[in-house]
Structure 1
């Protein structure tokens, strides 16, 4: 039971932010000569409505596959090669952008990574870890609908206005212009007083023109080509094999990327480059035997999504805009016979209490339950599991303004893992 039966892809592929695999390095603790293949299929149901009465069903099904192999250079030095898809997003608002606040908005992000991690046993209880990963990321984003039409048109007009403004005058903010467009007499008067009579009327006409152009040109489109970069990890572990106890900590440094991009906005097509990072993260994994044939497991993962900023040149705003993710899980595994063991685990991600979240990730926090079983025959292990996750309610917002509400959503995941030791 030294290897937890709770390492099921069904539960690992449902996490906060853009997390998909959880970036586990648990394969490094397998017996040398062990190869494994994990497959998870995830079926989210993320539905919501906007103030105009439009209904949305935005999350698309996806699959995650993980491959690993564990080997040894010597009795004290072992290694593992892990191939996974650490980050991803599949969100699509299928409604008409002419009659709904978010229709036509979508995000399709994919990634692949190969990680080589080595473990050196200082003693029979203490070991240190280190590794390097090669990570590729690519994505496409579209922003559309009435909410983005207004927000982007206002932002574009504000930026153009400020670019020709004399240095002696303060910049106009989108917040003030939005208030004026919403009918605030105070904001309208402030604009005309500061920048000259008739300025607000001129800006309002420009926003109307920009909004019409936004609609006729299909909204905002962003394509980011694949960029492959190298990242690093370090860690340490403490074990007492007699009671199947293990405490392992792994820290991954953020990985820097620079990708070629193409943007389409207001009839302008612009090629450029965007610099961003995939986040630093910390995994803490614990297990211990608590009775004969019974194992307790606990896991924690922190991901620094707040440091992930993707700001294209033409748009000038962050496309990611996510809070940090914290994931906790606790489980029990029980061996019922030499060939079969079962497990149950719960997972939790606290909500961020944010007034609004990105429409590209319109949930906040989660609770999950995973039930699994493991069959062993000689040198082969087959593990399967089912996960049901309750997703936290959230208000999707554009420019900090709530535009759609998402409530009572869930995810169903199934996973299968085959493991063989040669």
Structure 2
């Protein structure tokens, strides 16, 4: 079962992509395998993902239209340089793009702007008018209600209050209504109240629209879309007290940038919201330990990566902020507010293991944990707006809500077998699983984990370099989607996404010197 170190490295190097379509925004899998290669080593790779994520409207969405593919294709590169400075000290530079998102809704659905969109869902607007009408009528006397009914009858007859006979005719109409009710004004008021409410409701709708027009409320145009990109550069210092052990740690510099546009009736008062995160960078760290027995191709490593805080000013646009006047709020308190937001990328742990199981054959496994349950993005003005909207009984989130967050941590695992086929060729097969980060999920990424199968192949023209390629097929988990205002209430959803999949392709070159 003895394997040469080079042969083992060749077999495992044929898996150029690890995560590709993991839970939440996890992408690269943040592998440390390049740093744990023997001697001096360089590699560069690229992974490409082609997902298909479609579904249909559901839950609180008034319609039940289909949602066509909303997941964009994307790619992410990686590179690594590892130097064995002495027998006991090594240094490495690792570059990858660990987290990201790319999606855009298209077609005719609740996440694309339509001419029929309203600043709030029509049922909610209607309930606001009805509540206001009911409260007003409850404060009136029976005589006043009958008077309103009489005014409505005269309006239907085309009689204007400027008509000299108007007042006399009005009084006669009031008297007639009461007489028809047996001379009891309370009975008359109860009889005519439905008509009075209907007229007041129609008038209230018109007044509400006028208030919105006066407030300068403008709904969004176009499609809901999201783009998030991160880059990591790790500086890793390793200490090998014996040939079997490797203790390593180092700082990690990370940048993050992104943009989000919310469009369509599904986002209610946030229809038209835009945010742009200018690229910002900050520092974190990693630490780990590895153990190996080269004679039997055994290698195990455990790596921890810290969370990284990014303090940033997010540029925001809220064209619907004028609607806050309906809630008794001053829009200037939101759109004129200045403040910073903190985006914290999650901490993670990777466990990697491999061992020879027969001549020229190894089994390998990877387990990854990412703390997505502690991740949230709340742009400053979005947060203020959400606190105001949260006062509505239909929303009931007085402390506001986040633009993006997840309810559970991610756990993923990959197992496989690699085999050296000849002096120049090696290959592997693998199976992967990902738990997802909770369900329901955000409308900006509506999938819940996956199962995948992968194939890899590697060609080594010479012992010191190789070219590897691989393909993975992902069976994406079914998910229910919800908006930010619905997060935390599993029964409240706006979409369902089922039977989706993705293909991932990877290419990598490696060189030993």
Normalised by the length of structure 2, the TM-score is 0.66
Contact 1:330 1:345 survives alignment (8 Å): yes
1:253 alignment partner in structure 2: 306
**1:351 Cα deviation from its structure 2 partner:** 4.6
Q: Does 1:390 align with 2:481?
A: no
Does the C-alpha gap of structure 1 residues 232 and 279 become closer, same or farther in structure 2, counting only changes over 3 Å? same
**1:14 Cα deviation from its structure 2 partner:** 2.3
**1:369 Cα deviation from its structure 2 partner:** 0.6
2:8 alignment partner in structure 1: 2
Q: Does 1:42 align with 2:42?
A: no
Does the C-alpha gap of structure 1 residues 12 and 54 become closer, same or farther in structure 2, counting only changes over 3 Å? closer
**1:394 Cα deviation from its structure 2 partner:** 0.4
**Aligned counterpart for 2:507 among listed residues 394, 402, 416:** 416
Whole-angstrom distance in 1 between the partners of 2:402 and 2:49: 27
Q: Does 1:229 align with 2:282?
A: yes
SS at 1:22 equivalent: coil
**1:235 Cα deviation from its structure 2 partner:** 0.5
Task: Provide the aligned length of Structure 1 versus Structure 2.
Answer: 355
SS at 1:12 equivalent: coil
**1:244 Cα deviation from its structure 2 partner:** 0.8
Superposition map of 1:23-422 within 5 A: 23-51=30-58, 52=63, 53-95=65-107, 96-98=112-114, 104-149=223-268, 153=269, 219-265=272-318, 266-267=320-321, 268=335, 272-316=339-383, 317-322=401-406, 323-351=408-436, 354=439, 356-378=440-462, 379-398=464-483, 399=486, 400=489, 401-422=492-513
- Rg larger in structure: 2
Does the C-alpha gap of structure 1 residues 353 and 90 become closer, same or farther in structure 2, counting only changes over 3 Å? closer
**1:352 Cα deviation from its structure 2 partner:** 5.5
Does the C-alpha gap of structure 1 residues 16 and 9 become closer, same or farther in structure 2, counting only changes over 3 Å? farther
Deviations 1:194-215 (A, max 9, x none): xxxxxxxxxxxxxxxxxxxx65
Contact 2:470 2:506 survives alignment (8 Å): yes
**1:104 Cα deviation from its structure 2 partner:** 2.5
RMSD: 1.9
Normalised by the length of structure 1, the TM-score is 0.80
SS at 2:68 equivalent: strand
Structure (1/2) with the larger helix percentage = 2
Whole-angstrom distance in 2 between the partners of 1:243 and 1:300: 21
Whole-angstrom distance in 2 between the partners of 1:30 and 1:335: 17
Structure (1/2) with the larger strand percentage = 1
5+ residue gaps, structure 1, are 154-213
2:200 alignment partner in structure 1: none
SS at 1:57 equivalent: coil
Deviations 1:210-247 (A, max 9, x none): xxxx65xxx11111111100110111111111011011
**1:11 Cα deviation from its structure 2 partner:** 4.0
Contact 1:261 1:271 survives alignment (8 Å): no
Deviations 1:267-314 (A, max 9, x none): 547654211211100000000000000010000010111111211122
5+ residue gaps, structure 2, are 1-6, 122-219, 322-334, 384-400
Q: Post-superposition, which runs of at least 4 consecutive aligned residues in structure 1 deviate over 3 A? A: 99-103, 267-272
